[in-house]
C-alpha cells in the first residue's frame, strides 16, 4: 500500500502522528501533499506574514521529507470548496490507498475533511485522521457529568490527571524510517503566493522545524525557570516566541510539554510539582489546549458568535474613526499604540499587550471584539483561530472563563506596572522617546506647552468615563 500524508497545520517530520502512522502502514512508499489554497486563507483572514512563514516552513519540510525518501507534492485549489477534489485526485494519481492527516477542529475544516472522506470512500480509499494539533483530543477530558469544561482551572486539573492516568505523561513519537522510493519528484515550493506578500522581513522569523527545536531548547535552558517572573514584561525577552511555530506545526505541543517536563526532571509529577517557571509555561500550553477544546465543544464560537449568547445583546460602537486609529496605533494611549506598532512591524504581539489592546478596543472604545479578532488574524504571524478567538472573547467578557465585565484593565496602570521604565514604548513610538519614565505612560498629563511640542495624538476617549460606560452597558444585559 502507498500512503498519502496530507499536510495542513503540522509542517514537520518529527513527532507528526499522521506521518508516523503512514510510514508504518505503507510498504510501497509515502508521498506528502500540501494544498496551496488562497481562497481558504483569505476566508480565514490569514496574514501575509503568516502565509510567508508557512511557505518558508514548507521549503524546510520538503528537504526534511526528501531525506526520508518522501516527495512533497504541491497542488493548488483556488476556492475552499475545491480542496476535497484536489486531494482525492492526488491520491488517485499517485496510486495511494489511504490518506493520512492530522485533525483540525474548526467547523469549515471538519466539513472539508468529511467531504474528503466521502470522495475517497467512493473511490475505495480510506482517510485516517489523528490527534496531533493538541496533546489530548477535545472531548476526551470531560466534567463529572460528561460535559465539556468551560472554566480553565478545573479543565487543567482534569487534563493533567487524565494525561497521567492514560499515558503516564506526554510521549513524543520515534523518528520515521526512510521509505521506499516512489519515483515521484518533489515539487518546487513557491516563494510567495499572489495576494499574500509579507511586509515583515523573513529574518525576523527563521522558519522550519530545526529552528523551532533550537528555540525550544534555548528557551527551556535560558529562560524557562524565570518565566513566571518575566513573562508579563513586554520589554524583556521573557517568553518563548514559539507561537508561530506551533501555529504552522513546525513544532508539536507534545514536544513542548515533553521538553518542559524533562527539564523539571526531579519532580515526581512534572506537570504539577517542580520549578514554578516551567510549571507556569506548561500551564500556558494547556490554555492552548483549552481553547481548542472550547472550539470543538462549542462550534458557535467558529461562526462569529460569542460564547455567552446573552452578550449578543450588546450594542457596540460603530465609530470607524476610533477603529482606524486603534488599527494604526494612533489612539493617544502609549502602551496601546506601542503594542499595535509591535504587531504591525513584527507580526507578533506580547501576550500582556494583546490583553491590554483588546480590552482597550472592546471596553474603552466599546468596539465589537470581532473587529479586533479579524484585524489581529490579518496581521499575526502566529494567527491561530482557537487562541485568537479565545483571547478576544476573554478580553471582551463574552467568552468562556472570561474577564468579569467589571474588571477592566486600566492601560496606564498596566503600562506603569509592566513597562515601568517605558523602554518598550520608547522602542516603538519615537515621538515619545524623549519623555521621562513617569509621563511617557500618560502624555496628556504634561503641561499644555510640553504637550503641544509632541507629535502624538490626544487620547481618543477619557479612560474613566469610557470604562464606566462599558460596565453600565454590560450590567444592563445581566441575566
Ligand atoms: C486577544 C488575544 C489574541 C491572541 N491571539 C493568539 C493567536 O492568534 N495565536 C496564538 O498562538 N496565541 C494567541 N494568543 C495567546 C498568547 O497571547 C500567545 O500565544 C502568546 O503571546 C505567544 O507568545 P509566546 O509563544 O512567546 O508564548 P509563551 O508565553 O512562551 O507560551 C508558550 C505557548 O503557550 C501558548 N499560549 C501562551 N499563552 C496563551 C494564551 N493566553 N492562550 C492560548 N495559548 C497560549 C502559545 O502556544 C505559546 O506559544 C492571544 C491572546 C490574546 C489575549
Mode of pairing for the β-strands spanning 126-130 and 3-7: unpaired
pLDDT exceeds cutoff 80 at 266:
no
Query: What does the pLDDT average to over 378-382?
Result: 98
Supply the pLDDT for residue 397.
95
Q: Which of 108, 351, 410, 444 is catalytic?
A: 351
Question: If you measure from the C-alpha of residue 164 to the centroid of ligand 1, how many angstroms do you get, rounded to a whole number?
Answer: 24
Query: What does the pLDDT average to over 223-251?
Result: 98
Question: Could you read off the pLDDT of 272-325 as tens digits, one per residue?
Answer: 999 999 999 999 999 999 999 999 999 999 999 999 999 999 999 999 999 999
Supply the pLDDT for residue 200.
98
Query: What does the pLDDT average to over 93-115?
Result: 97
pTM: 0.98
Query: What does the pLDDT average to over 431-453?
Result: 96
Supply the pLDDT for residue 403.
78
CA 459 to chain centre: 30
Domain ranges of the chain: 3-130, 134-173+208-297, 309-476
Instruction: Work out which ligand 1 atom sits closest to the CA atom of 246.
Output: 47
Q: What is the CATH number of domain 134-173+208-297?
A: 1.25.40.80
Q: How confident is the model at residue 401 (pLDDT cuts 50, 70, 90)?
A: confident
Q: Is 3-130 a domain of CATH 3.40.50.620?
A: yes
Question: Could you read off the pLDDT of 183-204 as tens digits, one per residue?
Answer: 999 999 999 999 999 999 999 9
Supply the pLDDT for residue 71.
98
Nearest residue by C-alpha to atom 2 in ligand 1:
391
Extract the C-alpha cell encoding 83. Answer: 480542496
pLDDT exceeds cutoff 90 at 238:
yes
Question: Could you read off the pLDDT of 320-368 as tens digits, one per residue?
Answer: 999 999 999 999 999 999 999 999 999 999 999 999 999 999 999 999 9
**What is the average pLDDT value for the chain, to the nearest integer?**
97
Helix (H, G, I), strand (E, B) or coil at 398: coil
| Residue whose C-alpha is closest to residue 182's, from 13, 22, 36, 14 | 22
Question: If you measure from the C-alpha of residue 237 to the centroid of ligand 1, how many angstroms do you get, rounded to a whole number?
Answer: 15
DSSP symbols for 128-181: EEE--SSSS-TTSS--TTSPPP-SHHHHHHHHHHHHHHHHSS--PPPPPPPPPP
Q: What are phi and psi of 391, to 5 degrees?
A: -65, -40
Question: If you measure from the C-alpha of residue 390 to the centroid of ligand 1, how many angstroms do you get, rounded to a whole number?
Answer: 10
Please indicate whether residue 181 is annotated as part of the active site.
no
Question: Could you read off the pLDDT of 159-168 as tens digits, one per residue?
Answer: 999 999 999 9
Instruction: Work out which ligand 1 atom sits closest to the CA atom of 382.
Output: 9
Could you name the CATH architecture of 309-476?
Answer: Orthogonal Bundle (1.10)
Q: Which of 369, 373, 388, 389 is catalytic?
A: 369
Supply the pLDDT for residue 20.
98
DSSP symbols for 312-369: GG---B--HHHHHHHHHT-SS-HHHHHHHHHHHHHS---HHHHHHHHHIIIIIS-B-H
The strands making up 72-76's β-sheet, listed across from edge to edge, are 72-76, 30-36, 3-7, 98-102, 126-130
| Residue whose C-alpha is closest to residue 208's, from 53, 368, 40, 367 | 53
Please indicate whether residue 392 is annotated as part of the active site.
yes
Supply the pLDDT for residue 478.
84
Extract the C-alpha cell encoding 97. Answer: 490507498
Instruction: Work out which ligand 1 atom sits closest to the CA atom of 231.
Output: 29
Residue 110 and residue 432: Cα distance in Å, rounded?
48
- Residues 6+ positions from 94 with CB-CB distance below 8 Å: 2, 4, 31, 73, 182, 184
Nearest residue by C-alpha to atom 26 in ligand 1:
241
Question: If you measure from the C-alpha of residue 92 to the centroid of ligand 1, how many angstroms do you get, rounded to a whole number?
Answer: 39
Which residue ranges have their beta carbon within 6 Å of ligand 1?
231, 239-243, 246-247, 284-285, 287-288, 291, 351, 354-355, 358, 376, 380, 382-384, 387-388, 391-392, 395
Question: If you measure from the C-alpha of residue 8 to the centroid of ligand 1, how many angstroms do you get, rounded to a whole number?
Answer: 20
DSSP symbols for 194-240: TT---SS-GGGS--SHHHHHHHHHHHHHHTGGGHHHHTT-TTS--S-
Supply the pLDDT for residue 267.
80
Supply the pLDDT for residue 425.
98
Amino acid at each position: 500500500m502507498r500512503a498519502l500524508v496530507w499536510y495542513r497545520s503540522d509542517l514537520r517530520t518529527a513527532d507528526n502522528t499522521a506521518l508516523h502512522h503512514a510510514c508504518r502502514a505503507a510498504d510501497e512508499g509515502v508521498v506528502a501533499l500540501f494544498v496551496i489554497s488562497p481562497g481558504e486563507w483569505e476566508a480565514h483572514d490569514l496574514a501575509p506574514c503568516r502565509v510567508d512563514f508557512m511557505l518558508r516552513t514548507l521549503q524546510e519540510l520538503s528537504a526534511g521529507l526528501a531525506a526520508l525518501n518522501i516527495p512533497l507534492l504541491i497542488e493548488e485549489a483556488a476556492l475552499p470548496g475545491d480542496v476535497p477534489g484536489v486531494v482525492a485526485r492526488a491520491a488517485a494519481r499517485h496510486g495511494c490507498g489511504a490518506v493520512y492527516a492530522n485533525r483540525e477542529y474548526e467547523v469549515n475544516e471538519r466539513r472539508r475533511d468529511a467531504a474528503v472522506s466521502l470522495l475517497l470512500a467512493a473511490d475505495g480509499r480510506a482517510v485516517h485522521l489523528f490527534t496531533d494539533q493538541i496533546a489530548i483530543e477535545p472531548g476526551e477530558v470531560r466534567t463529572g457529568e460528561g460535559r465539556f469544561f468551560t472554566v480553565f482551572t478545573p479543565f487543567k486539573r482534569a487534563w493533567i490527571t487524565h494525561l497521567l492516568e492514560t499515558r503516564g505523561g506526554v510521549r513524543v513519537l520515534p523518528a520515521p524510517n526512510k521509505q521506499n522510493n516512489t519515483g515521484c519528484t518533489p515539487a518546487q515550493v513557491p516563494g510567495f503566493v499572489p495576494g499574500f506578500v509579507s511586509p515583515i522581513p523573513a529574518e525576523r522569523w527563521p522558519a522550519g522545524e530545526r529552528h523551532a527545536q533550537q528555540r525550544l531548547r534555548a528557551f527551556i535552558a535560558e529562560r524557562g525557570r524565570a518565566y513566571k517572573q518575566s513573562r508579563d514584561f513586554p520589554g524583556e525577552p521573557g517568553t518563548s516566541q514559539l507561537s508561530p511555530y506551533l501555529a504552522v506545526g513546525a513544532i508539536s505541543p507534545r514536544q513542548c510539554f515533553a521538553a518542559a517536563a524533562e527539564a523539571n526532571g526531579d519532580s515526581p509529577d512534572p506537570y504539577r510539582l517542580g520549578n514554578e517557571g516551567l510549571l507556569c509555561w506548561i500551564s500556558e500550553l494547556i490554555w492552548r489546549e483549552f481553547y481548542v477544546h472550547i472550539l470543538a465543544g462549542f462550534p458557535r464560537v467558529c461562526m462569529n458568535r460569542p460564547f455567552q449568547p446573552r452578550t449578543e445583546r450588546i450594542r457596540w460602537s460603530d465609530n470607524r474613526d476610533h477603529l482606524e486609529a486603534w488599527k494604526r496605533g494612533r489612539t493617544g494611549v502609549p502602551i496601546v499604540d506601542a503594542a499595535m506598532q509591535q504587531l504591525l512591524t513584527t507580526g507578533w504581539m506580547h501576550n500582556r499587550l494583546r490583553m491590554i489592546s483588546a480590552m482597550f478596543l472592546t471596553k474603552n472604545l466599546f468596539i465589537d471584539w470581532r473587529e479586533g479578532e479579524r484585524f489581529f488574524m490579518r496581521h499575526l504571524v502566529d494567527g491561530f483561530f482557537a487562541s485568537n478567538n479565545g483571547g478576544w472573547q476573554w478580553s471582551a467578557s463574552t467568552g468562556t472563563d472570561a474577564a468579569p465585565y467589571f474588571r477592566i484593565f486600566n492601560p496606564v496602570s498596566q503600562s506603569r506596572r509592566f513597562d515601568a521604565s517605558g523602554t518598550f514604548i520608547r522602542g516603538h513610538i519615537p515621538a515619545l522617546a524623549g519623555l521621562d519614565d513617569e509621563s511617557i505612560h500618560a502624555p496628556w498629563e504634561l503641561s499644555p506647552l510640553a504637550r503641544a511640542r509632541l507629535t502624538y495624538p490626544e487620547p481618543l476617549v477619557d479612560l474613566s468615563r469610557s470604562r464606566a460606560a462599558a460596565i453600565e452597558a454590560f450590567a444592563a444585559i445581566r441575566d
